[in-house]
Structure 1
Amino acid sequence: MKDFNFKIPQNINFGMGSLKKLPEILKENNSEHVFLISDRGLESIGVVKKVQDIIESGGIKCTAYLDVKPNPTIDIVNEATALYKDCGATSIVALGGGSPLDVSKTVGVLAKYGGRITDYEGMDKVPGPIVPMIAIPTTAGTGSEVTASSVITDESRNYKFSIVSYETLPKYAVLDPELIMTAPASIASSCGVDALIHAIEAYLSRNASPFSDAMAEKAMELIGKNLRRFVENRKDEEAACGMMSGSNFAGISFAWARLGNVHAMSHPVSAFCHVPHGVANSVLLPTVMEFNALVDNGRYEKIYNYIREGNEAIKDFKPEMLIEELKNLNEDLGIPKSLSEVGVKEHMIEDMAKDAMKSGNVLANPRETSLDDMIELYKKAI
């Protein structure tokens, strides 16, 4: 067994109604004025007001920035950072899916250390702890509340870059399944498959360890038996709890094992065509899994047994069975079948492949991947 390390530096609160613990958590952190980062969608359905009311019920001042958009840009980060500095807040509450959480991490970096956000692009460029942050995910998908990375779009380069540092981990996370029970079916499905992909890629990663495997396997178990059920009925409390905890465990697994080609390829798709991250990942998954099947060492069968429908015994498993099951899952959940359906054109492929190869996730992918391989993968997925 190769060497590995891990740490769990965060305080995670899970449970139906756990959002009500927010004032207590803020007071533990001596927060008298918090900066709430979220989006207009959550404002329109009353979730932002609900959180603001809970914060203010504890006698804590709250200033909100609500203009986060999917695939957030440098301009959004700069705008939010300026408001944070002007308002005098001392901590951040991140409310939403991956985009508000990613923006919150980057605001926490810039507010503490200054400069431009591109100064921190890459691995371990953040010099120390960021502004104290509490993450409140409203989707069961990103795992961003327990991951050390944030992804921001640089429109000048048409490129999604990552900031990877364990210093950006939120200090606290509040996982309240009630918050995901109002999600539209389309969000529940794409975010749910994204969470499943986090677990799968971490499980197959060259950097996998017994610790990340344990998190990934439990995540696949929980997501596999609850994903279809949750998309069918978001009011199903047991399924919502399974998806929320499964997404969290998947996030922990890839925080320590990294991801693979699915995520390396999906970031350019989102940057070029403004495709939601979870949708891009879901469309690419079967193609990448077929490519990686050449180096399967028995893990495909384990993944298959976690996500397949039915309990009948399976004999003579072949990797193709998992790939077909993933295609069936996407179809059941209304995920597009190909990249062409989400706007990717043939002439984009070479540039997207070059961007994908810049991702550190390619190095963790179980099968070695060249630029020519990446181009062929995009062509197959289109």
Structure 2
Amino acid sequence: MWNVPNRILFGWGSVTELGEYLDEFDADHPLVVTDEGVRAAGVLDPLLDAIEASGRSYTIFDGVQPDPTDVIVHEAASAYDEAGADLILGVGGGSSIDTAKAASILATNDGHILDFEGSGNVPNDPPPSVFVPTTAGTGSEVGHWTIVKDSDTSIKEEIGDVSLLADLAIVDPELTASAPAPVKAATGMDVLTHAVEAYVSIKAQSQTSALALDSIEKVGEYLPRAVEYRGEDREALSKMAKASSQAGMAFNGAGLGAVHAISHQVGGTFGVPHGLANAILLPYVMEYNLPQVPEEMVSIAAALGEDVDPSKPARTEGEKAVRAVRRLAADVRIPETLAETAAERDAIPQLAEQAIDDGSLTGNPRATDVDDLATILERAFDGRFETGA
């Protein structure tokens, strides 16, 4: 199964057209779900101007936090009810858009948000939704999944339903311009992780693989330029924004893998930003998966600009993909190991036990058990690669 948003509006300055689409949705009062940083940076201003120009009022909920918990989701849902809103407008990174999706479930369904964990468990359709990313990263604007952290256990739970797909996704690369360089780097590597995991997934499809491979190529070429953006390189930001949405659509159909299964636990337990955790873990998981998908790794290496030799064994040439990802991460100043984050090595057994039950693991091309996941974590803490990659 492969599902995509009803519509995607892409282009520099495209948020100024928001009012026209609100007319189509017959929405009079949107709830804008975002975080304080996006609001303080003025990134919301063009959207709010567009809403006001259409003659509408709005309410802003800016209480989103990284890795949103069930508590925050319920606060956003209460804000929707109190405002008498009739449309959810999620603006920001993945946390804001995930919060908007989860709050939209509660707008039309009774119960606790974690009651809807799993796939296809949302009985009543949410209100109309518009999602606007301000980072080239999660691709959440084009997906039908939301991640909510259980405030009691710190475990990230996944909720998926086709009704969570945006009625409209507005991808405006201009909104990503103000993100700090470290954020651009981590979210950009998140794009690469989505694309790589979708490409090697056991649930990959021809259309998801095409989107994933093109995204990999874009990230390899444009991420360093986007990170160094100083107000002139619109092409780099536009290509990264497109890569993000393409990778989001790819994994929405093909699923993910062990990188996300592990990073969800690292982020939930220690607060390591999702994109950063993915960026660090990606080459270690790629090396682990290499024996199962050597041809796919060769294609990834080629997409990242490596000179691959088809006359040589695929497994040997596939190692070039791991090396290319490591070089790209280094170029944009991503730490090499989890030891350089807030994560603690002593927690490896706990993290591995939690990761084995993560839904993302179902797409991983190589079978894994708890010991395998622990080994990957150990290597990621130690900076150790077995193949010399």
TM range (shorter): over 0.9
* Equivalent position of 1:142 in the other structure: 138
Partner of 1:69: 65
For residues 319 and 213 of structure 2, the distance between their equivalents in structure 1, rounded to whole angstroms, comes to 20
CA deviation after TM superposition for structure 1 residue 129, in Å: 2.2
Q: Which residue of 1 aligns with 2:276?
A: 279
RMSD (Å), alpha carbons: 1.4
CA contact (8 A) 1:146 1:169 kept: yes
Question: Of residues 26, 49, 52 in structure 2, which corresponds to 1:53?
Answer: 49
CA contact 2:73–2:103 (8 Å) conserved in 1: yes
Report the equivalent of 1:155: 151
Query: Partner residue of 2:370?
Result: 371
Question: In the alignment, is the contact (CA less than 8 A) between 1:183 and 1:234 conserved in 2?
Answer: no
The answer as to whether partners of 2:3 and 2:162 remain within 8 angstroms in 1 is no
Q: Does the aligned pair in 2 maintain the 1:93–1:134 contact within 8 Å?
A: yes
Q: How does 1:17-28 map to 2 (within 5 A)?
A: 17-28=13-24
Tell me the number of residue pairs that the alignment of Structure 1 and Structure 2 aligns: 376
The letter for the 1-side match of 2:103 is V
Please list the CA deviations of residues 288-322 of structure 1 after superposition, one character each: whole Å capped at 9, or x if unmatched.
0110011124111111121237xx67574522222
Equivalent residue for 2:161?
Answer: 165
Distance in 1 (CA, whole Å) between partners of 2:275 and 2:293 is: 24
Cα distance per residue 1:244-293 (max 9 Å; x no partner): 11111100000000000000000010011101100000010111011001
Match of 1:355 in 2: 354
Q: Is the 8 A contact 1:263 1:281 kept in 2?
A: yes
Query: What letter is aligned with 1:269?
Result: V
Q: Which amino acid aligns with 2:301?
A: Y
CA distance in 2, matches of 1:7, 1:267: 23
Match of 1:266 in 2: 263
Structure 1 residue 371, shift from structure 2 partner:
0.9
Give ranges in structure 2 of 5+ residues lacking alignment.
382-389
SS at match of 1:35: strand
Shift of the 270–21 alpha-carbon distance from structure 1 to 2, 3 Å rule, reads same
Pick from 190, 212, 216 the counterpart of residue 216 of structure 1: 212
TM-score (norm 2): 0.94
Q: Deviations over 1:30-59 (max 9, x none)?
A: 011110001111111111233212211110
Q: Distance in 2 between matches of 1:7 and 1:66?
A: 29
Give the aligned residue type for 1:112: T
CA shift at 1:153, angstroms?
A: 1.1
Determine the C-alpha separation between the residues in 2 that align with 1:163 and 1:234.
38
Partner of 2:386: none
- Paired AA for residue 202 in structure 2: R
Residue in 2 that maps onto 1:318: 317
Contact 1:234/1:240, CA 8 A, preserved across alignment: no
1:11 matched residue in structure 2? 7
Distance 1:279 1:116, change over 3 A: same
One-letter code aligned to 1:245: K
1:155 positional shift: 2.2
C-alpha contact 1:225 1:306 (8 A) present in aligned 2: no
1:108 alignment counterpart: 104
**Aligned partner of 2:360: which letter?**
N
Look up the equivalent residue of 1:254 and give its one-letter code.
F
Cα distance in 2 for partners of 1:183, 1:366 equals 34
Partner of 2:114: 118
User: Percent identity, aligned pairs only?
Assistant: 37
Aligned AA (2:366): R
Q: Which residue of 2 aligns with 1:295?
A: 292
Q: Secondary structure at the match of 2:329?
A: helix
Greater shift in the superposed pair: 296-305 or 284-293: 296-305
CA contact (8 A) 2:132 2:169 kept: yes
Secondary structure of the 1:265 match is helix
Indicate the SS of the match to 2:290: helix
Contact 1:182/1:234, CA 8 A, preserved across alignment: no
Unaligned runs of 5+ in 1: none
Alignment partners' CA distance in 2, 1:210 and 1:260: 18
Aligned partners of 2:341 and 2:3: how far apart in 1?
38
- Alignment pair present for 1:304 and 2:301: yes
3-state SS of 1:298 partner: helix
245-254 vs 211-220, greater mean Cα deviation: 211-220
> Cα offset for 1:9?
4.5
Q: Does 1:240 align with 2:237?
A: yes
Mapped partners of 1:76, 1:345: distance in 2: 26
Q: Which residue of structure 2 lines up, in the alignment, with residue 187 of structure 1?
A: 183
C-alpha distance in structure 2 between counterparts of 1:234 and 1:360, whole Å: 39
Give me the whole-angstrom Cα distance separating, in 2, the residues matched to 1:348 and 1:372: 14
| Residues 286, 327 of structure 1: 8 Å contact kept | yes
SS in 2 for 1:318: helix
The amino acid of 1:237's aligned partner reads R
Which of 250, 262, 266 matches 1:253? 250
Q: CA deviation at 1:353?
A: 0.8
- Residue 356 of structure 1 aligns to which amino acid in structure 2? A
CA distance in 1, matches of 2:269, 2:77: 26
Shift of 1:369: 0.3
> Structure 1 residue 24: deviation in Å?
0.4
Q: 1:116 to 1:181 in 2, by over 3 A?
A: same
Residue type of the alignment partner of 1:244: A
- The AA in structure 1 aligned to 2:327 is N
Question: What amino acid sits opposite 2:300 in the alignment?
Answer: I
Query: How far, CA to CA, are the matches of 1:28 and 1:220 in structure 2?
Result: 35
1:94 to 59, 70, 90: 90
